[in-house]
Amino acid sequence: MAGNRFAVHSTAIGLIILMIMMTLTPLAEEYNLDEKEILEASGRQLDDIDCSGYTFEDLFDYNYASFDIGIGDDWATSSMSATAYVNGSNSATVRENLDGLFDGAPGGNNSWISTDEREAVREIGPKCIVDMDTRLGIREGIAHRGGVDWNDFEFVEEGIALDEVDLVPASHSEERNCQNLLASGNCTEVPVSVTDDLQIILFVANGESNNMRFDQLPNQGDSNFTLALNVTNMTNANLMLTFPVLQGLRIANFSMRDDGVEINSFEPEEIYLPDGRLRISQQVDYDKSLWPTGRNLFIDFTTAAPESNDIPEWTGAAPSDNTIIPIMNGGEYSAVSGEEISTWASDTNGWNLECTFADMGWSSRQNQDGDLLVTSPSGTSTTTAECSIKDPFGAQNNDTLTFTFGQPFTATGEITDGENIDFTVTPTGLVSELSVAAHAHQMQIMGTMRSVSLTNAPMTISLPMDGLRPGSVMVMGNAQNSNMLNFEFMLDFGLEKVSLPPVLEIKVNFEGKNATWDASGLKFTLKGEVIDPDGEAVSLSLTLCGSQASDFTKVGKNWEIDVSIATCVQQGITEYDVSISATDESGVVSTLSVTVKDPYATDDTSSETNNGDNEDSESSGLPGVSFMATLAVTLLGAAFASRKKE
C-alpha cells in the first residue's frame, strides 16, 4: 500500500483502441473491411488490456483536482467523485497523452484529438480504471505507518462513470472533420496543441450506489483505525473523506511522510455534519521536482472520548420557547433550512438538534446540509416537541426549547379563465391570524405576487400567469405570523397553462394596400407583426397558389417577406389569395388570409366600357407589365425544357 507504483505501461488503454474499432465496424463494412483487418490496423490484441500501475495523475496532468470519497454505512463500500481542472499548456499535454494512447488505431496518435477518441474514453474508460490502484488503504488497531497488511480499497467497474468538459472544444477555430477513413459521420477533431481549458470527471454511474469497495472493518469503525493514502504526484488537490454516523469518531493523530520521513504539511480539518457524520478535508501539494520521492498521508481515528469537550450553547438567534414551526402534514417535510438552524447554537465540534415529540408517529432529523426534516402522520394536524442541542461526543445542554409543529393552512388551486390561478387558502386554526403572499411559479419565472390576511375563513386569491410559458405551473409563496417561523411553500396542484395563439397582423403601405409590388411585376412584398402572448418563439410560413415559402425576415415583432407570383402566373391566376401561418413552440397556430390584386392585370369589365383607353394602350406598341411577366415565365419554362432535351 505504502510503496510507489507509478510505472506507466505502454499497453494500457488497449481496450480503448479495441472499443473504438468496434464502434466503427459498420463503417468498416461499408469499405469492405473485416474485423480482423481492423484489429491488425490497430496493432493491438485482446490481451493488451492492462492499466495496472497507472494513477489518475499519470493520465491527467491537472492544475487542481478535488476528490470526494464517502465511506458507506456498511463500512465495506465507498463512492468516489473526482474532478480534474486542466488549464493552458497542461491541457495540451493531456490531449497529446490521450491521442498517443490510440497509437496504431485509425486517427490515433496523429496529433489530433477527435470526438471518436473522446467517446471511446467515456465508453470503456471504466475498464481501464478498474485495474488502477485507488492508493487508499485502511486498517484497524494501533496507529500504523506502513509495514503491515493494508485493507486496500479497489475500484468497482460497473460503478464507474467518466465524463469530460471541452476535451474537444466545440466550434474551435482549428476544428475540422476527422480525416481518417473509418471516422464516424459527425466526427470532428482539433490539434492536440490547443490550450483551451478542460475538465476530467469521475463519478458513480447512474443506478449504482458505489464505485469502490474494501473488506468490511470487523468493528465497523468503532475501534481505532488508520487511513493511509499515497499522495505522490498529487500536485494540487483537495481530499474530502466522509464517514458514516458514529458518535465520538474523531482524529487522534496524523502525519505526512516522504519515503518514510515525517514532513510538515497541511493539517486535516474535522467537519462534523449536522446529520452526525464526520467529514475530513485535507489539502495536498506535491512538488514535481521531488519525483520519484514517495509521499504518504496517514490519519489515525478513534472513538475514545477527548480529554476536554465544550458543551453546545444556545444563541440569541434561537427561536423563543413555544414558537410554532410550520410544516406540511403527511410524510417528511423540510421545516427549517440548515442555513437558518445553524445560527441557533454553537459548539467548536458542531452540534445537532434532537427533538422528542409528544405524539406517536412524529419524528425529526437533520440531513448533511443541516436542514431540519420533520415526519408527521397523515391526518394529524399539530403536536409539540421538546428539543435539545447535542455535540458529536455526546455533550448536551440541559436547557431545552419546546416547539409546536403543525400545518397552518390547507389549499387548492385551479385555472378557470386560462389567465389566472384561483388559489384558495383555508386556515387550520394553528394561528389566529395569517398573512399569505403567493404567486404563480415556473422554474425561474414568477408571476405577480398577491397578498391577503386571513383569520378563520377561507379566501381565494387570483394569481396572474402573465409572462409564464405554457406548461406546468405551481404556486409559490410564504405565510407569516408573529409567533411562527416564516413558512415558505411550493405547491403543485397539477396545473397546466394552455398556450395562447400568436397574434398575427398585416401592415398596409402608404397607399393603404396590403402589398407593395416590385417594378418587375413578378413579386410583391408583405410586411406585418407577430407577437406570442406566452413569449414563445414563433415560426412563419406562407402559402400562395399551392406553393409554400418560409423565408421571412424577422426583427423583433416585425416580419417581412418577398412573394413571387410565378406559380400563379403559370396557372393564369391574377388575384392572389395569400395564407400566412404563425406557429409557436407549443404547436398552436394562427392563420391570416390576405388578398392581393394584380395592379397590372386586364379588367374585362373595364375594357368593355373604356374602349378608348384600350386602344391607346395597344397603339403604344408596348405590352402591359402582366403580359411581360407571363411572357418571361413562359420563356423561362421553354428554355428549361430545351436544356433538359440537350
pLDDT tens per residue across span 220-249 = 999 999 999 999 989 899 999 999 999 999
> What percent of the chain has pLDDT above 90?
64
User: For residue 570, what is the enclosing H or E element?
Assistant: helix 566-570
Angle between helical axes of 115-129 and 88-100 (0-180°, round to 10):
80
For residue 313, which of 347, 268, 266 has the smallest C-alpha distance?
A: 347
Distance CA 255, CA 268 (A): 10
Question: Is residue 538 a contact partner of residue 584, using CB atoms and an 8 Å limit?
Answer: yes
DSSP 249-260: -EEEEEEEEETT
Mean pLDDT to the nearest integer, 257-283:
94
Distance CA 579, CA 546 (A): 10
Given a cut of 70, is residue 405 above it in pLDDT?
yes
Q: What pLDDT does 106 receive? A: 76
Mean pLDDT to the nearest integer, 292-321:
93
Given a cut of 70, is residue 125 above it in pLDDT?
yes
Structural domains of the chain, ranges and CATH numbers in brackets: 14-169+185-302 (no CATH), 313-406 (2.60.40), 409-491 (2.60.40.10), 499-646 (2.60.40.10)
Matching residue, cell 417577406: 561
Q: What pLDDT does 39 receive? A: 39
Q: What pLDDT does 603 receive? A: 53
- Neighbour count for residue 97 (Cβ, 10 Å): 17
Identify the three-state secondary structure at position 62.
coil
> Residue 30: which pLDDT band, with cuts at 50, 70 and 90?
very low
38-71 pLDDT, tens digit each? 434 443 333 354 677 778 888 788 999 999 999 9
User: For residue 61, what is the enclosing H or E element?
Assistant: none
Average pLDDT, the chain: 84
340-364 pLDDT, tens digit each? 999 999 998 889 999 999 999 999 9
309-320 pLDDT, tens digit each? 899 999 999 999
Given a cut of 50, is residue 372 above it in pLDDT?
yes
- Neighbour count for residue 358 (Cβ, 10 Å): 13
487-519 pLDDT, tens digit each? 999 999 999 999 989 999 999 988 888 899 998
Question: Is residue 619 a contact partner of residue 574, using CB atoms and an 8 Å limit?
Answer: no
Q: What pLDDT does 488 receive? A: 95
Given a cut of 80, is residue 379 above it in pLDDT?
no
Q: What pLDDT does 599 receive? A: 80
Mean pLDDT to the nearest integer, 595-601:
82
Question: What nine digits make up the cell of 93?
Answer: 499535454
DSSP 372-394: EEEEE-TT--EEEEEEEEE-TTS
420-467 pLDDT, tens digit each? 999 999 999 999 999 999 999 998 889 999 999 999 899 999 999 988
CA distances in angstroms from 302 to 141, 215, 224, 273, 378, listed in the order given: 10, 19, 5, 17, 42
Mean pLDDT to the nearest integer, 472-489:
96
Given a cut of 50, is residue 643 above it in pLDDT?
no
Q: Where are the beta strands (DSSP E) in 215-342?
A: 225-230, 237-242, 250-258, 261-263, 269-272, 278-284, 295-302, 313-314, 324-326, 331-336
CA distances in angstroms from 120 to 58, 136, 195, 434, 502, listed in the order given: 19, 27, 22, 59, 46
Given a cut of 60, is residue 622 above it in pLDDT?
no
Q: What pLDDT does 295 receive? A: 94
HSE-CB for 611 with a 13 A CA cutoff: 1
- The one-letter code for the residue type at 452 is V
Q: What pLDDT does 635 receive? A: 36
Given a cut of 70, is residue 251 above it in pLDDT?
yes
Q: What pLDDT does 512 receive? A: 84
Q: Which of 20-29, 64-73, 120-129, 371-380 has the lowest mean pLDDT?
A: 20-29
Q: What pLDDT does 435 receive? A: 96
Q: What pLDDT does 601 receive? A: 67
Given a cut of 70, is residue 8 above it in pLDDT?
no
- The one-letter code for the residue type at 141 is G
574-590 pLDDT, tens digit each? 889 999 999 999 999 99
Given a cut of 60, is residue 404 above it in pLDDT?
yes
Beta bridge partners of 539: 583
> What percent of the chain has pLDDT above 70?
85
424-434 pLDDT, tens digit each? 999 999 999 99
Q: Where are the beta strands (DSSP E) in 428-556?
A: 434-442, 445-446, 450-454, 459-464, 471-481, 484-497, 503-507, 515-517, 523-531, 538-544, 547-549, 553-555
14-28 pLDDT, tens digit each? 333 333 333 334 333
Q: What pLDDT does 127 receive? A: 83
Distance CA 396, CA 595 (A): 85
142-153 pLDDT, tens digit each? 898 987 788 899
HSE-CB for 127 with a 13 A CA cutoff: 17
Q: What pLDDT does 1 receive? A: 54
Question: Is residue 250 a contact partner of residue 198, using CB atoms and an 8 Å limit?
Answer: no
Question: What nine digits make up the cell of 180?
Answer: 481518417
Q: What pLDDT does 104 receive? A: 73
Given a cut of 90, is residue 262 above it in pLDDT?
yes
Question: Is residue 549 a contact partner of residue 526, using CB atoms and an 8 Å limit?
Answer: no
